[in-house]
Structure 1
Amino acid sequence: MNRFSTPQCHSCPSYHLSLLHCCGKDEQEEIGLHKTAQQYVAGQVIFREGSRALGLYCVHDGIIKISKTGGDGKEQIVRLAKGGDMLGYRGLVTGTLHSASAVALDTCTVCLVRKEDFFQEMSNNSVFSNGLIQLLSKTLGETEERMLHLAYKPVRERLAEALLLLLRTYRSKDQPDSLSFSITREDLGALMGTTKETSTRMLSEFKAEGMLSTHGSAITILDTMRLVNIATQYD
């Protein structure tokens, strides 16, 4: 975990996607006076499930997994976060401990907005508070849909859906047509709601069918439309 110069909101490449774009220029400057930023490499923890919420986390760049650990000790990836996404707001709003962990999947930069500034915006900025409500609603809806798919979709369909999610998440405005990304088989299994062994076996099947190629942890999608057809077969 490295300290460096804190990025400014107005120059953030994901500014238009961030909840902080609901703040005015003066409010952003005030937030910027107190917020901090840190860089993380793949595998580093941003916050742990069960820890106290320190503030509002805003992803400047990079990919982060949000995961929970079941009673059997197995990890389940609930969602993925990228530039412009907010983390930790649920614990702040409810005054509870973090319900999930956030871990970097690659090199990323994350800003931390103070609790005081977060609650100041909630109290005095109706645009910000309305945006937060919409964000909570959107996240809840997406999580419910993913959990439903994990419960009822066969493993083959879940793999196709996970690969398409990873493709959308890793694509950037600099590389909008990129068809490649890297992920460990453990993380892919946790995203699918299955084991490393099953995810590895299913990947090999997809590779043999010509839908993708692999090189180490790197995956390149070769037939997007076929993955879409498999992922939506039971929708």
Structure 2
Amino acid sequence: MQPVNNLISFCLEGPGSVFRNLDRDDKKLLEENHHISHFRRGDILLREGDRPSELMCLATGKVKIIKKGIGGRGQILSLVPPQGLIGYRALFSETTYCASAIAIEESVACSFRKETVLDLTYRNPDLALRMMRVFAEEMRFINHRTVSLTQKHIRGRLAESLLFLRDIYGYMPDGKTLNVYLPREDLASFSNMTTSNAIRTLSNLAAEEVIAIERKKIIILDAYRLEKISTLG
């Protein structure tokens, strides 16, 4: 377990942090108005329908954003990497959370008081611009995924999801194995297909030696072909 100082420092000073360019006094204000929360796999970080009182920054671990659909079936909308912000849309729009955040694995989050974050954003143009970029990037991703999930065939959707996992979480030290374990039902939800279709498509890709499957691990053997499958849809 990392020391608390390292966790808060990662959220405030890391290369992907929206807070990294704040001056020392503003960062101290965030340090004085935060708390650290630990989550086990399957724990809920925030729940759809609740009202935000803080802004979360994921310090370690992996988190899925999931929304309830018809009949209570969950749809995974996105995945959060370390230094990713959680709950910012509801916080800035002053509405309830439109989706839940659930830990995929053991995770730690730094939570900053809503009032502190809003005050810093109001009086700090650089932070406001960085927040706007977060919103813009999310909208770009949503637009892209909407087209992909409605127009691509099953193979293309699953290939794109595997590439997204690679891009957000990277590889293990071998340079081929995805550095994340996503249950087949979650991979299916993220790719907008049934679990049986996801399992069948993974098996087909493995038979074609595009990927390999070792228990829970997915190994990308031919990234070029996987990207081509994703592009062609």
Indicate whether the TM-score tops 0.5.
Answer: yes
Report deviation, 1:134.
1.4
2: CA distance, partners of 1:15 / 1:84? 7
Q: How far does the alpha carbon of each residue in 1:183-229 deviate from its partner, in whole angstroms, 9 at most, with x for none?
A: 10010001101111111111111111111122332211111111000
Report deviation, 1:24.
1.5
TM-score after normalising by structure 1: 0.91
2: CA distance, partners of 1:102 / 1:194? 21
Report deviation, 1:23.
1.8
> Contact conserved, 1:185 with 1:196, CA < 8 A, in 2?
yes
- Matching of residues 56-71 of structure 1 within 5 Å: 56-71=55-70
What secondary structure sits across from 1:16 in the alignment?
coil
TM-score after normalising by structure 2: 0.92
Partner of 1:179 in structure 2? 177
Report deviation, 1:145.
1.0
> Contact conserved, 1:213 with 1:221, CA < 8 A, in 2?
yes
- Matching of residues 206-221 of structure 1 within 5 Å: 206-221=205-220
> Contact conserved, 1:60 with 1:84, CA < 8 A, in 2?
yes
Over 3 Å counting, the alpha-carbon distance change for 1:6 and 1:112 in structure 2 is farther
Report deviation, 1:17.
0.3
Q: Which amino acid aligns with 1:16?
A: P
> Contact conserved, 2:211 with 2:222, CA < 8 A, in 1?
yes
1: CA distance, partners of 2:208 / 2:13? 37
Over 3 Å counting, the alpha-carbon distance change for 1:108 and 1:13 in structure 2 is farther
What secondary structure sits across from 1:17 in the alignment?
coil
Q: Which amino acid aligns with 2:37?
A: Q
Task: Calculate percent identity across the aligned residue pairs.
Answer: 27
What secondary structure sits across from 1:232 in the alignment?
helix
Report deviation, 1:6.
5.7
2: CA distance, partners of 1:90 / 1:175? 35
Unpaired stretches in structure 2, ≥5 consecutive residues: none
Q: How far does the alpha carbon of each residue in 1:51-82 deviate from its partner, in whole angstroms, 9 at most, with x for none?
A: 11121110112111111111232221111111
1: CA distance, partners of 2:177 / 2:102? 23
> Contact conserved, 1:14 with 1:60, CA < 8 A, in 2?
no
Partner of 2:108 in structure 1? 109
What secondary structure sits across from 1:20 in the alignment?
coil
Residue correspondences, number: 231
Partner of 1:122 in structure 2? 121
What secondary structure sits across from 1:72 in the alignment?
helix
Partner of 2:165 in structure 1? 166
Report deviation, 1:34.
1.7
Over 3 Å counting, the alpha-carbon distance change for 1:6 and 1:44 in structure 2 is farther
